[in-house]
Amino acid sequence: MAKLVFGLNQSLDGYVDHQAMVPDTGLFRHFIEQVRSVAGMLYGRRMYEVMRYWDDDLPDWDAEERDYATVWRRRPKWVVSRSLKSIGANATLVEGDVEAAVRGLKARLDGEIEVAGPDLAGSLTELGLIDEYRLYLRPIVLGRGKPFFVGPRAPLRLVASDRIGENTIRLIYVPA
């Protein structure tokens, strides 16, 4: 049975903004290895549209960016959306009963399924489907944006913490 893991960069004041928090080399390498190891990724529409950046090779990418794009493209993706009618390669559109679809993925797959997108994670939290939360705390104050936790917060228990890269602390929580 797969484990559903929600993890994103977070500012000190609790916001996520993919474009405002560019990872240092160590953190980026960590994310490459993490994507390489997951069973797949479950996206909300907005986060999927941000991540589509990795679909096309850009001439100014360095070796690590090309590596990330390669591993990202190989992983299966499921996209929860009511508005998208088509999606990219190696992706499946999830429509209708999201809870049943996610429970089916968890039952059918082994390993970790990465959840990306605070709104989707909030909905899955309300359904009791998130097994682990990974907060990558960055030394940035954004003062605006989308909060990491959307909606009611499940009671959590800290199970691990470590430093990744030059200035990121990863906090790992599970539902209490």
- The string of pLDDT tens digits covering residues 30-64 is 999 999 999 999 999 999 999 999 999 999 999 99
- Tokens representing 150 are 């959307």
Alpha helices in 52-138 (DSSP H): 63-74, 98-108, 118-126
pLDDT score at 153: 78
Q: Minimal CA–CA distance to 2: which of 127, 116, 134, 114?
A: 114
Q: How far apart are CA 105 and CA 145, in angstroms?
A: 30
**81 vs 31, 59, 102, 153, CA distance in Å?**
25, 31, 13, 23
Domains in the chain (CATH in brackets) are 3-175 (3.40.430.10)
